[in-house]
Amino acid sequence: MPKSAPNSTPNPTDSSEHKQPQVEVDNSPTPAHATTGSSTIPKGRLKKTPKMVANGSRAFIWYLLALAVLIIDQWTKWLAETKLNFLEPVPVIEPFLNWTLAYNYGAAFSFLADQAGWQKWFFAGLALVMSLFLIGYLVKAPRKARLLSFGLALVLGGALGNLIDRLLHGHVIDFIHVHYADVWHYPIFNIADIGICIGVALIVIDMLFLEKKRDA
């Protein structure tokens, strides 16, 4: 009995093995926001970062303030030298304030005042470097940081005032004497010292309380 030929008719169930996988196309609109986890951030904000605007040419305003401090400082020192006698106090508000002409050959509180004279050039060079730094930094300081620029200008004016004294006289001229009777005496100082102290205080306040708010 002849054998029957094998059935060559393809099994319809086998065709599924050769089918190409279908790729689904997502026709949904592109979202206007980039998502990260559960947050949604506009794409524009991802590319744009706020740029801090510097003082630039407006630093000229703060230079004028520094110049005003310098002029007042030098004028009051000239008055002290022409109207007062060395180390002879003139009562102003008893028993708290005198005008007393004194010379400081050192730094604040007469630091290194008893040296052989090299301290004059050391402190003069230090004041010059600091002044040049402040002049440049006022240009780059954020325009919104007015308190910072105000403090920098006060420090600049005071530093230049005492620098001129060291270069012209070899010492700093002081005349403001705060005390309480004969019980307590604060070191004699000048207008330049006041500008430096107030300026440093304003800079510290800006760094502690205002700088983070500007960067936020």
To the query of whether residue 193 is one of the catalytic residues in this protein, the response is yes
Name residue 164's amino acid: I
- Other Cβ atoms closer than 10 A to 187: 14
Burial of 139 (0-12, 13-18, 19+ CB in 10 A): middle
Catalytic residue, candidates 14, 26, 114, 174: 174
Question: How far is Cα 92 from Cα 41, in angstroms, rounded to an integer?
Answer: 65
Do 208 and 147 touch, CB atoms closer than 8 A?
no
Q: What are phi and psi of 38, to 5 degrees?
A: -95, 0
Tokens of 4: 């029957």
- List b or e across 201-213, with b for residues whose CB sees 16 or more CB atoms inside 10 angstroms: ebbeebeeebeee
Plot region of 60 (φ>0 → left; ψ -120 to 50 → alpha; else → beta): alpha
Question: How far is Cα 193 from Cα 172, in angstroms, rounded to an integer?
Answer: 10
To the query of whether residue 73 is one of the catalytic residues in this protein, the response is no
Residue 113, CA distances (Å) to 34, 102, 108 in order: 65, 12, 9
Catalytic residues: 174, 193
